[in-house]
Amino acid sequence: MVLPKARAFLWIVLHEKILMGDRLKVIGIQGPNWCFLCKSEEETSNHLLYKCPFSEACWNWYLDMVGLSLAKNETLKDFLIAWPSSKSSKWSTLWIIRLAMIAWHIWKERNKRIFKEVERSLEAVREGIKIAIEEVVNGKSLSARYVKLTDWDKEMEKKWEFKRIDINQAKKAVDRKAFIGRDPPKGG
């Protein structure tokens, strides 16, 4: 069930408890301390999930998809807090789901690159984010039982242009796109 994991991950991110190169070094665990997405900056949660060019491209793609623009903040936490708040009439379940899914998929891509030596394209990661959100909205995911859509969610669905899709076919297409021009992952 992706949604509970993504929400839990978002909580960890907001409370700055994510174990990455910078935090691991503080507790005495040595290892590579560079971003596995851009391969040039120090790995911090703020860089990986927000400032890295790969992550920025994911956030900007999403904002473009829904026709929004938000002021650029210095930290991921400030960026997430700047999204519609519970005091706003636009706060919604789908808003949180999308936010969590984007951060979760960026994190999963980082982990695939580290632990499986698999590097997917930006397009494949974006498509994975879109499919994950569509699974929940279309009720094709076990996670869908956690979701109650508001009127504003339904309006956002129109902007996102959700389609009823065959999730298994879409996942296969993403997997094929991910490795075009690259060697397949080791062991598979």
Interval 56-68: pLDDT, tens: 999 999 888 877 7
**What pLDDT, on a 0 to 100 scale, did the predictor assign at position 188?**
45
- The count of domains in the chain is 1
Q: Which domain holds residue 86?
A: 2-17+62-178
The tens digit of pLDDT for each residue in 2-39 reads: 577 888 888 888 888 888 877 777 888 877 788 999 99
In 53-106, the DSSP E strands lie at: none
Mean pLDDT of 100-129: 94
Question: Is 12 inside any structural domain?
Answer: yes
Residue pair 49/80 in contact (Cβ under 8 Å)? The answer is no
How many CA atoms lie less than 13 Å away from 54 in the CB half-sphere?
Answer: 25
pLDDT of residue 88: 46
> What is the C-alpha separation between 187 and 115, in angstroms, rounded?
13
Residue 106: Cβ-neighbour burial (10 angstroms; 0-12, 13-18, 19+): buried
Burial class from Cβ neighbours inside 10 Å (0-12, 13-18, 19+) for residue 13 reads: buried
Within a domain: 6: yes
Q: What is the mean pLDDT of residues 88-102?
A: 69
DSSP per-residue codes, 79-117: HHHHSPPTTSTT--HHHHHHHHHHHHHHHHHHHIIIII-
pLDDT of residue 136: 73
142 within domain boundaries:
yes
141-156 pLDDT tens trace: 544 455 555 555 566 5
* Domain annotation covers residue 46: no
Looking at residue 77, its pLDDT comes to: 81
- Calculate what percentage of the chain has a pLDDT beyond 70: 64
CB proximity list for 124: less than 8 A, separation 6 or greater? 174, 177, 178
Rounded distance between C-alpha atoms, residue 181 and residue 178, angstroms? 9
In a domain, 11, yes or no: yes
In a domain, 53, yes or no: no
Q: Residue with structure tokens 């708040």? A: 85
Tell me if 31 is assigned to some domain: no
Mean pLDDT of all residues in the chain? 75
Find which of 2-6, 43-47, 71-75, 164-168 is predicted with most confidence, using mean pLDDT.
43-47
Give the pLDDT score at 63: 85
162 in a structural domain = yes
90 or 117, which is more confident: 117
The percentage of the chain sitting over the pLDDT mark of 90, rounded to a whole number, equals: 25
